[in-house]
């Protein structure tokens, strides 16, 4: 799962820009990279042949030297002991060299360089997605612990075909952000996350936590009503700003997540709830089992997220520094192009050249 910082704007056009710049990168540097690979291959081939000739020469000289010492021992019997000692010494040295340089010899014998088909090994898309991630999942208030735990659970369970945004402003009636928004093959999932422990009860429209050893805690804001407001605001934003995507209204899912490990959820204790609810593990299982809709492509997802971020930017009550993902894509292209130029220059550079 890819986590996106809610400050990023122009996500749809940014994604299109990344794809176009990747094609441009391959068109501009594909031939240069191939030339660099060819020159590098020729240098490696020449070095390998040089090493191979040296090894063959050494292998040929050894038996000749041993034969010469044996003949000398035969003809010069008065120095036979000395010559035999030198023969044994030469053999020991040669065997030692073979054992010590076995990896080198194996590389020379079977390590002939192979010509490679050049390709631009820089993925602007991967770098772009990585740059969109928030610096960290910080916890400033106690209640945010549940959001961080839930998103961490999702990140470990879901593949990169899922996108997640935390804390995006979605309601103008009050300062209210959506705890977790998920975009995936099966639709847009909206989650209100509560880090409540104990027995969770809803009776006569009132939510509370019941504890055995301390006082019960009553909550003024009902999580199911909060979820409904957020869903309605998101639906309204899509209908007003993206009328051609009004069909996605049937793909809005989600509900209330009780992420505390000690939350006790019993259906009989929760009366008249207006939104689905469950622990984090149950929601992850439901996400896995949700059927995909081929119409809900990545481009559609980013277009909806763009509209939601634009709405949040216009209604944000505090100063927020928003960033352009399109500008980021262009920056990443310039950085990648500089690296490729340097890499190609090193590959075509002749040994000893300055």
Q: Are residues 99 and 132 in the same domain?
A: no
More confident residue, 279 or 90: 279
Final residue belonging to a domain, choices 120, 153, 176: 120
- Compute the half-sphere exposure of residue 160: CA atoms within 13 Å on the CB side of its CA: 5
Domain boundary among 62, 92, 120: 120
pLDDT tier at 24 (50, 70, 90 boundaries)?
Answer: confident
CA 265/CA 210 separation, integer angstroms: 11
> Are 10 and 40 contained in the same domain?
no
Whether 194 maps to a domain, the answer reads yes
Note whether 104 and 125 are same-domain residues.
no
Q: How many domains does the chain have?
A: 2
Tell me if the pTM is above 0.85: no
Asked whether residue 342 is assigned to any structural domain, the reply reads: no
In the chain, what percentage of residues exceed pLDDT 90?
Answer: 52
Residues 155 and 57 reside in one and the same domain: no
Tens digit of each residue's pLDDT (9 = 90 or more) over 29-61: 766 555 555 566 566 666 766 776 766 666 666
Asked if residue 65 has pLDDT above 80, the reply is no
The H or E element containing residue 85 is helix 80-100
Is 344 contained in some domain? no
The 3-state DSSP composition of the chain as helix, strand, coil percent (nearest 5) reads: 60, 15, 25
300, 242 contact by CB (below 8 A): no
Q: Is position 164 within any domain?
A: yes
Contact between 69 and 62 (Cβ < 8 Å): no
> Are the C-beta atoms of residues 48 and 106 closer than 8 Å to each other?
no
| 64 domain residue, yes or no | yes
Q: Per-residue b/e over 200-215, b at no fewer than 16 CB within 10 Å?
A: bbbeeeebbbeeeeee
Q: How many CA atoms lie within 13 A of 143 on its CB side?
A: 8
Quickly count: other Cβ atoms within 10 Å of residue 183's Cβ: 23
Domain boundary among 61, 89, 120: 120
Q: pLDDT above 70 covers what percent of the chain?
A: 69
Q: CA 311 to CA 197: how far, in whole Å?
A: 34
| 10 and 42 belong to one structural domain | no
Residue 148 and residue 232 in one domain: yes
- In terms of residue numbers, what domain contains 201? 2-22+121-337
Q: Identify whether residues 138 and 274 lie together within a single domain.
A: yes
Answer yes or no: do 302 and 227 share one domain.
Answer: yes
Is 350 domain-assigned? no
């Amino acid at each position: 799962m890819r986590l996106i910082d809610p400050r990023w704007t122009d996500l749809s056009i940014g994604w299109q820009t990344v794809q176009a710049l990747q094609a441009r990168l391959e068109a501009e540097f594909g031939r240069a990279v191939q030339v660099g690979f060819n020159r590098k291959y020729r240098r490696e081939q020449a070095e390998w042949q040089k090493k191979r000739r040296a090894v063959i020469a050494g292998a040929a000289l050894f038996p000749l030297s041993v034969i010469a010492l044996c003949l000398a021992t035969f003809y010069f019997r008065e120095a036979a002991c000395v010559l035999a000692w030198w023969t044994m010494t030469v053999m020991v040295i040669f065997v030692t060299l073979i054992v010590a340089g076995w990896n080198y010899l194996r590389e020379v014998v079977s390590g002939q360089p192979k010509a490679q088909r050049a390709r631009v090994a820089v993925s602007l898309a991967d770098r772009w997605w990585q740059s969109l991630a928030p610096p960290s999942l910080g916890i400033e208030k106690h209640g945010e612990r549940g959001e961080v735990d839930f998103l961490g659970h999702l990140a470990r369970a879901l593949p990169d075909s899922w996108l997640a945004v935390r804390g995006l402003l979605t309601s103008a009636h009050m300062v209210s952000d959506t705890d977790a928004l998920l975009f995936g093959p099966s639709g847009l999932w909206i989650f209100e996350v509560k880090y409540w422990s104990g027995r969770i009860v809803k009776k006569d429209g009132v939510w509370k936590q019941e504890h055995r050893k301390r006082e019960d805690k009553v909550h003024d804001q009902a999580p199911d009503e909060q979820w409904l407001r957020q869903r309605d605001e998101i639906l309204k934003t899509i209908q007003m700003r993206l009328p051609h995507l009004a069909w996605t209204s049937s793909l809005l899912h989600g509900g209330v997540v009780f992420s505390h490990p000690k939350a006790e959820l019993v259906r009989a204790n929760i009366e008249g709830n207006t939104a689905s609810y469950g622990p984090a593990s149950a929601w992850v299982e439901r996400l896995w089992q949700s059927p995909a809709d081929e119409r809900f492509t990545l481009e559609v997802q980013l277009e909806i997220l763009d509209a939601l971020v634009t709405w949040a930017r216009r209604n944000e009550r505090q100063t927020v520094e928003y960033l352009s993902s399109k500008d980021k894509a262009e920056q990443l292209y310039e950085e990648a192009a500089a690296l490729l130029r340097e890499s190609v220059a090193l590959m075509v550079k002749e040994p000893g050249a300055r």
